[in-house]
Amino acid sequence: MPLYHLTPISPKDPNWRTSVHRDVAVVRAGSEGQARSLASAAFDTTLAPSSPGGKIATPLWRHPHAVRAEVIQDRRYGSEGPAVILEPWGYL
């Protein structure tokens, strides 16, 4: 299965307040869509205002304009096994 390196493009975007993780993630998944979905399920929180009195923030892990996804090869992570978040650790 491919390994996906997901990188937030603008981590200071106020919409990132809806995520418990705002840094690089490495995900083993069958497709980019599945990698984004796993990240979204693990990291997205309840909806929150993007600013005090502002509009409701939008979770961003599923959006290509907000998160760059690249297929990588890295010996630290095996390509065999189930679809899972490999980095950060603890989001199995």
Structure tokens at 39: 């990240």
What is the pLDDT, as a whole number, of residue 52? 63
Position with higher pLDDT, 92 vs 69: 69
Asked whether the beta carbons of 67 and 60 are under 8 A apart, the reply is yes
Q: Are 85 and 43 within 8 A, CB to CB?
A: no
The pLDDT tens digits for 35-77 are 999 999 999 886 655 556 666 677 899 999 999 999 999 999 9
More confident residue, 32 or 17: 32
